[in-house]
A = this chain, B = another copy of it.
Amino acid sequence: MKAELRERIEVIDTSLDAYLPVRDVPQSEIYEAMRYSLFAGGKRLRPILMWECARMLGGSWETVRPFACALEMIHTYSLIHDDLPAMDNDDLRRGLPTNHIKFGEAIAILAGDALLNKAFEIVSEYEHKDVSRAMRAISVLASSSGTEGMIGGQVVDLASEGKDITLPELQYIHLLKTGAIIRSACVIGGILAGAEDDEILAIDEYAKNLGIAFQIRDDILDVTGSEEELGKPIGSDAGKGKNTYVKLLGEWRSEMLVNEFSDKAKAALSRFGDSADMLIKITDYLITRKN
């Protein structure tokens, strides 16, 4: 599985690289800053999920390439802005200095802006075979990263820092902050591969549950992982007064929930039969990961 995913990551990285060359212009520093974070060792989870959801329905990498790269850029921009001093104030990410530590705060803000912007550049510049389908995918992409998606989740997350919140409140944060983008990865894969509406609903149900399982795993790793594996200090979320599943439910209950939600996720794929085998394997791999 690890080798299989490594191959896919290579394909994704090659496309990302082609979409974002360093240009010989007076503003070349912005390209360096964007690339610095884009190639800082991300797991490419979202492009992999989009690709595999499309593949399950007969699509290929080419079916999703611009959208998969766009989503990874949006994910990366959100990390750069989340790390800023005014937000989470993180100096390290994946074992490397964060963007504003490396390039300064002004460039880090602009590199985030630029990655968000570039995402929409590459999906709108592409010569789509089916323009209506592509427009629908852009709409899903944009709404999942906006105020009713990722940004909305970050706003509530920031507001709840250092406060005691309830489980439904925590779930609301993650449904938006990390869940919306994972759902749009999968749903866009389906849309671009020509899925029927009820197939898209099933994919969304899969992704929604996967997103929760994935987030709980993240919270568990924050306290049980090793600094070397995670590339950041252990307990850094807890130390900042962040609300996590482990804080609210404890480690044991959290592990139970990971299993519960990943089972629900996989069950949602039953209608796709054998075509879903690889997606199920990837799901198992992701929710048992160590970093």
Residues of A within 8 A of B (CB): 23, 25-27, 29-31, 34, 77, 81, 84, 86-87, 104-107, 109-110, 112-114, 116-118, 120-121, 124-125, 128, 131-132, 134-135, 138-139, 141-143, 145-148, 151-156, 158-159, 169, 172, 176
Residues of B within 8 A of A152 (CB): 25-27, 30
Q: How far is the CB of A35 from chain B (nearest CB, A)?
A: 11
Residue on B with the closest CB to A118? B146
In addition to A86-B104, A117-B142, A121-B146, 8 A-B residue pairs with Cβ atoms within 8 Å of each other are A26-B169, A30-B152, A87-B106, A87-B109, A110-B155, A116-B116, A131-B132, A131-B135
- Given A121-B146, A125-B139, A139-B121, A151-B86 contact (CB < 8 Å): no
Q: How far is the CB of A116 from chain B (nearest CB, A)?
A: 6
Q: How far is the CB of A245 from chain B (nearest CB, A)?
A: 18
Residue from the list B29, B81, B118, B141 in contact with A159, Cβ < 8 A: B29
Complex: how many Å from CA A172 to CA B125?
24
Residues of B within 8 A of A29 (CB): 155, 159
Complex: how many Å from CA A118 to CA B128?
23
Complex: how many Å from CA A105 to CA B26?
28
Complex: how many Å from CA A125 to CA B138?
8
Complex: how many Å from CA A77 to CA B112?
13
Does the CB pair B114–A151 fall under 8 Å?
yes
Residue from the list B26, B117, B124 in contact with A156, Cβ < 8 A: B26
Residue from the list B117, B146, B158 in contact with A146, Cβ < 8 A: B117
Complex: how many Å from CA A245 to CA B84?
34
Q: How far is the CB of A249 from chain B (nearest CB, A)?
A: 21
- Given A86-B105, A147-B27, A155-B107, A135-B139 contact (CB < 8 Å): no
Name the residue among A27, A87, A121, A138 with the largest chain B CB count within 10 angstroms. Answer: A27
Residue from the list B27, B117, B143 in contact with A121, Cβ < 8 A: B143
Residue from the list B113, B120, B132 in contact with A151, Cβ < 8 A: B113
Residues of B within 8 A of A154 (CB): 110
